[in-house]
Amino acid sequence: MSDATPVLQMQRISKRFGSTQALDNVSLDLYPGEIHALLGENGAGKSTLIKIMTGIHRPDTGEILLDGRPITIANSIEAQSYGIAAIHQEPMIFPDLNVAENIFISHRNLGAVRNWGKLYRSAQEILAKLDIRLDVRSAARGLTLAQQQAVEIAKAISLNVRVLIMDEPTASLSAHEVDQLFLLADALRREGVALLFISHRMEEVFEHCDRITVLRDGQFVSTGSVADYTSERAIRDMVGRQVDDFFSRSASEPGKVVIHVEGLSKEDAFQDVSFDVHAGEVLGFAGLVGARRTDVGLALFGIAPADAGSRAFSCPI
């Protein structure tokens, strides 16, 4: 990447909100045809930097360069005009519009009268370019989360995207859907798009990304090729200390059963859920968005009671 010219450069960016210094002299270079991981704990400044890149916030100090030329990004429309777009964990889809309308919703030059045939053909061409198989006339409300993100990427392509920010896009996807998303990312990389990837999943970073930049407490910590990092180094840079210094676990023996749940069921939500919780242990519920973990919790405490099954609570003492 050293011989290439960065498509976007964030140079010495600082941003303060009241007494909070969200960013302090942060720099980031994005090159065409690469996937660049931006790492940091919650509160490290990643979201603020992204919002400055997409025109939501203005930096207090610092400079933004596009193809080596200084630019000002006053709002999201200007960001789009420069070819900067973002997709998020929760896609911003209009459920009552169809796929084609969602792809072109950000185009201000369509006019009041649309050539629907041309609109559908153009949408289909973009989806075909990305090897996405969707009916462009179907309503967006019926799309899966992964399909919604694919539509968001197609929308970015329709705006001639040069920099695509992917903010925790895999957090709610299955393993298969994650694979499909990265196939799309690789297709964009081959087209010369610069991708900024934000994730807490280290395995995805090391498998798919080319470079890494780490922020901590609003400050730049390190940057380099993925080959220069290990998971341990990335985490150390993110938190400022060795992994063993902040993650330790002592052995403990579980005590008596304090919560016993058997056959808990709720129509159209979950069926036949059974588990025990022992004193002195932490029981975790894992699952994708929509797996109904919250519904089980609401039923467990009587907020949205279950239709069947039993639950019993006992004092651990």
Low-confidence ranges of the chain (pLDDT < 70): 1-3, 108-114, 241-250, 288-289, 315-317
Percentage of the chain modeled with pLDDT above 90 = 43
247-284 burial, b for 16+ CB within 10 Å, e for fewer? Answer: eeeeeeeeeeebbebeebebeebbeebeeebeeeeeee
pLDDT at 16: 95
Are 237 and 221 a contacting pair, CB within 8 Å? yes
Does domain 8-246 fall under CATH 3.40.50.300? My reply is: yes
* pLDDT at site 248: 59
Show the tokens assigned to 103: 């792809």
56's CB contacts (< 8 A; 6+ apart) are 75, 76
303: its two tokens: 């907020």
pLDDT at 243: 54
Q: What is the dihedral of CA 172, 176, 178, 181, to 10 degrees?
A: -120
- Whole-angstrom Cα distance, residue 38 to residue 196? 7
What is the Cα–Cα distance from 161 to 155, expressed in whole angstroms? Answer: 9
Render pLDDT for 88-125 as a digit per residue (tens, 0 to 9).
Answer: 877 788 999 999 999 988 776 554 446 788 889 999 99
Query: How big is the chain by its Cα radius of gyration, in Å?
Result: 23
- What six digits make up the tokens of 281? 């242990």
- Burial class of residue 122 (count of CB atoms within 10 Å of its CB; 0-12, 13-18, 19+): middle
d(CA 280, CA 282): 7
Cα atoms found within 13 Å of the Cα of residue 243, Cβ hemisphere only: 6
| Cα 93 to Cα 110: distance, rounded to the nearest angstrom | 19
Can you give the pTM of this predicted structure?
0.74
pLDDT at 254: 80
**DSSP H helical ranges for 17-87:** 46-53, 76-81
CA angle, residues 263, 269, 274, in degrees to nearest 5: 20
pLDDT of residue 245: 52
Instruction: Give residue limits of the domains in the chain.
Output: 8-246, 257-313
pLDDT at 317: 47
